[in-house]
Structure 1
C-alpha cells in the first residue's frame, strides 16, 4: 500500500508525513508493519494485526502509531496524574505530565486537593495561589513540551463542585486563549444535582463561601453556552460503574473524558472503523466480531510491551490492565445505510452495535484470562468471572486517526461537507 490518492486524500497524506512516518518509512504500509511487529508476540498475531490496521478496519491511537517500534516505546494515550497539595508534590506532577506529553500522551488532573486561593500554605508561610493559578503552571509546561514532540499536549482539569474556588474555576476559560492546553470539567455530585432538579436554587451550597446552588448552576450553564467550557462529570455515576472500587474512588479522566482512571493509571486506545464494515447495505456482524477480537488482543499486548514514563504508572496500569476500544466512522456508516443521524433507527442500531462490541470484547478478554491469567486485582473487582482487563470500551473522539481512516470522527456527525482544517507542524509554521 502506498500514499496514492486511492488510499489517502491530501489531508491524510500530510497527516501521515507530519506525525507518523519514522526515518526510512515511506507510506502507511511501513507504519503498519512497524506497529504490528512491535505489538505482536508471534507470527500469527503479526499477520492479524498487520491486516486489521493496514485495511483501516482498526487503528490504534496516535501514541502507538508514533512510538511503537521506536526507542520511545510509549504507547498509551490516556493518563491520570494525582495532584497533591504542597510545592514539591505539585512540581512532581508537572514533571510526570511533561514526560508523558513529550511522547504524545494526554493527562488528566483533579485539582480539588489544592487549597483555595488566599488560604494559608502547607508550610504556614504565605498564602496559597489556588487551583486556577496552578493550572496556568501546568498549561505553560505543556506549551513548552509541545515543541519536543509531534503531537500537541492535552490536559483535563477537574474541580469538585464543593471546592471554595469553584466559581473562579468555572470562569477560568471565559477569555479566548486562556488555558489553551486544557479542557476543564466540574465534578458534580448526585446531591447537588438533586437539589438543582428540585429547584432549590436559593439554598446555600458552600457554607464557607456562601455560594448558592443557583449561582453555581447558572455559571456552568453560561460557560457552556459561551464556549463549551466547563464540561461536567458525574462523580457518583462514574463510581457506580467503577469495576475496582476496592482500589479507591475515581475522581479524574483523560483529556477527552471517555476514560475515567485511578491515580497513575494509563490506558491504550484504539478504534474500529464502522464505515468499512458496511457490505451490501448492512453491517457485516461477523467482520465486526472478528475486528473486536483482534483489537482486544492488540490492546492487551500493548500493556506488556509498553515503555512507561514513570514506575508508578506501570504499577497502577498493570494492576487493572484497562483498555479502551472504541469506534469511528459512525456517521459514514449511517450514510451508507441510508439512515438519518438523528433518527430512532440510528439510535437503535448504535445500541445494538455497541452491545455486540461489548459482548465480543468481554469474550476475548475472558479467553485471554484463561490463557494468561486475569488482571491482578480481579479478586478486588466486581467482575463475576475472570477477565484479562478491568475495563474494555471507550469512545474516543479520533480526531486524527479518523483522517487516516478516511471516515467521520468517533460517533460524531460530519460537521460540514466543506471546511478548512489547520495542520499543526511543530517545527514549521501552521499550514492550511
Structure 2
C-alpha cells in the first residue's frame, strides 16, 4: 500500500543494471526513455539529465500533442487511476524543456500529432522511422575518444574521420527496428549494420557500396588514424551474415557525411521518413545549372524535373530487392524523393544574398515549380502505366487527383557526396565557408569556392583575398565591397531564426523531409533556443535540430589557422 517512486527512479535501476552488465566489458546498452507530457512526474523527467552523470545509458524525450504548443493547461493524469492530479500551463512545461535542453541536450521533444500528418498512405500504418543504419553498440570515433552510439544518441558530438573533426549537431537518432547483419573481414574486424548501409570501398578510387553488394575480397577503407585498428588503411571483406533484429541508428555529420564506425568509414543517411520495409529512390537537381544570363532557366528546370521523375520511377522496377517484404512495400507506394542541391550557388549567380527576403522568395518559387512539375510528371506516368497500388484512399485520391504514379515525389536530402561530385553547394544550406580543408584518406585538400574566386579575384586586393581564404569567411576583413560581403555570407553569420524560415519555405513544397541544420554558438541564450523552437512550430517545419556548442563537457574544437570566438564567425559549430 506504499506510494510508487515514479518512472525516473525505476529508470535509474535499469541504468545501473545496464552499466554493470556491459557487452564485452565496455559497451553499454541503449535505452530510450519517452514520457508523455501529461504524466505527473514530467518535471522530474525533464530535469533528470541536467547534470552529467545520471542516466548515462538513457536518452530522453517528451511526447507532446499539438495543443501543447497552443499555451493551454495540461492536465497531469495518474496513469494508474486516470484521475487528474494537477493542471499546469503548457508554457511552464515548455520553458523547462527548453532550459534543460539548452543546458545538457536532454530532453528532446516529439510532436506526436505532426509526425504522421503528411503520411500519404495512412491505411498502411504510421510512419515510425527513417532509413536505418547501425546498431547501438557500435563504437564511433569522436573528439572525446571512441564512444558507443547509445551514448551519442540525441546529443551533439564532433566526429573524427581520418584525423579531422566534423560536427554532428543532433547526434545519433533511432531509425527503426530492423534486421542487422554482421560484417566481418579477414583481418578480424567486424561491424553490425543494415544490409543497405553504404561502406567505403577502394577500387580504382574510393567508392560507396551497400553492405549487401560487397564481394569477398573487396578492400574496405579503414580509418588508419583511429585507435580501432593497428594503422591499416584497408581490410579485406570476408562475410556478411544475419545477426537478428534490433534497434538501429543514424547520424548526420556535416562536412563529411560519414563517420568512423568500429574503424570502418561508413556513410550517414536518415533523411527519408518511411513505413516499415519501404524504400525510396532519391535524386537531386543541381540548381546551380538552372541559371542563365536572364535569371532562372525555367524551361530547363521543367525538362529536368520530368526526366528525373521518369528516371526515379524506372529505378523502382529495375531494382533487385533484398527481401520480399521490401519489394512488396516499395511497389505498393512507389515513393520517390526528388530534391535539390546547389541552392546557395544559384543565389550567388542570381546576385541574391542568402539571408534576404528575396532569397526566401526564390526558394518558394523554385520549389513550388518543382513540386508542380513533379506532380504533372507523376500524373502523366499514372495515365500511361497506372497509379501506385495504394492510390485509392490515399492523400492524392482525397485531393481529387485522377491518378498518381508515386505516393511521394519530393525530398531534400543533405547531398554531401552528391554535391562534392557535382562541384556545387550542399542541399539548401548556405555556404559553410568560402574556403576550407577536407581530409580524405589521410590527405588534406584545400577547397576554395569557385564562384568566390571568380568574382573576388579581380575586385579585391591580393592581401584581402588571401586573408579571406585563410579565414574562410569575409567577416571582419576590411576592404571588401558591401555587395560581395552580402553575397558570400556564410552559415555562421546568419540569424538562427532565418535558417528556420528558409527550411520552412522549402518544406511548404516538399512531400517528405527537409534536411537543414540550425546551430547555436556557446554564448547563445535560453531565449535564443526558445525562439528557434517556437519558429519551427509556427512556420510548419516537421522537425528542428538545435544544439548549443559547449553544452556538454570535454568538447574539443580546434581551429588550425585562426582562433576566434563564434561571434567572430570562425568556429564551424
Alignment TM-score, normalising by the size of structure 1: 0.53
Distance 1:265 1:298 in 2: 19
8 A contact 2:8–2:45 mirrored in 1: no
1:364-375 correspondence runs (5 A): 364-375=377-388
- Kept in 2, the 8 Å contact 1:281–1:336? The answer is no
Counterpart position of 1:235: 112
Name the counterpart of 1:245: 122
Residue 413 of structure 1 is matched in structure 2 by 430
1:386 aligns with 2:403: yes
Instruction: Tell me whether 1:338 sits opposite 2:215 in the alignment.
Output: no
Cα contact 1:159–1:169 (8 A) shared by 2: no
Q: Would you say 1:321 and 2:197 are equivalent positions? A: no
- Contact 2:290–2:300 (Cα < 8 Å) also in 1: yes
Q: Which residue of 1 aligns with 2:375?
A: 362
Counterpart of 1:217 in structure 2 is 94
Distance in 2 between the 1:317 and 1:173 partners?
42
Distance 1:173 1:420 in 2: 36
* Structure 2 unmatched runs, 5+: 1-6, 132-249, 253-269, 446-573
Q: How many residues align?
A: 282
For residues 158 and 316 of structure 1, the distance between their equivalents in structure 2, rounded to whole angstroms, comes to 30
Query: What's 1:264 paired with?
Result: 277
Residues 48-67 of structure 1 aligned to structure 2 (within 5 Å): none
Q: Which has the larger radius of gyration?
A: 2
Alignment of 1:54-93 (within 5 A): none
Shift of 1:322: 0.9
- TM-superposition CA deviations, 1:293-348 (whole Å, max 9, x none): 11111211222222334332222222111111111111111111111112111111
| Whole-angstrom CA distance in 1 between matches of 2:68 and 2:373 | 37
**Conserved? CA contact 1:118–1:129, under 8 Å:** no
Matches of 1:158 and 1:264, distance apart in 2: 25
Pick which of 239-248 and 215-224 moved more. 215-224
* Gapped regions of structure 1 (runs ≥ 5): 1-115, 121-126, 142-156
Deviation at 1:188, TM superposition (A): 4.0
* Larger relative contact order, structure 1 or 2 (CA cutoff 8 Å, min sep 6): 1
Alignment of 1:28-427 (within 5 A): 161=36, 188-194=64-70, 197-198=71-72, 200=73, 203=74, 205=76, 207-208=78-79, 217-218=94-95, 220-222=97-99, 225=102, 232=109, 234-254=111-131, 258-383=271-396, 384=400, 385-423=402-440, 425=441
Change (3 A) 1:158 1:274: farther
Q: For the structure 1 residues 249 and 420, does the alpha-carbon distance in structure 2 shift closer, same or farther, using more than 3 Å as the test?
A: same
Quote the offset at 1:237 in angstroms.
2.8
Change (3 A) 1:161 1:348: farther
Q: Secondary structure at the match of 2:353?
A: coil
Distance in 2 (CA, whole Å) between partners of 1:230 and 1:411 is: 28
Cα–Cα, structure 1 residues 218 and 388, in superposed 2: closer, same or farther, change >3 Å? same
Taking structure 2 as the reference length, the TM-score comes to 0.41
SS at match of 1:420: strand
SS at 1:349 equivalent: helix
CA separation in 2, counterparts of 1:312 and 1:163?
37
Distance 1:171 1:297, change over 3 A: farther
Q: Residues 162 and 232 (structure 1 numbering): CA distance in 2 closer, same or farther, change over 3 Å?
A: closer
Q: Cα distance, 1:292 vs. partner? A: 0.7
**How far apart in 1 are the matches of 2:334 and 2:127?**
16
**Partner SS state of residue 266, structure 1:** coil
Task: Tell me the distance in 2 between the aligned counterparts of 1:229 and 1:330.
Answer: 33
| Closer/same/farther in 2, CA of residues 287 and 374 from structure 1, 3 Å limit | same
Report the Cα distance in structure 2 between the residues aligned to 1:375 and 1:331, rounded to whole angstroms: 35
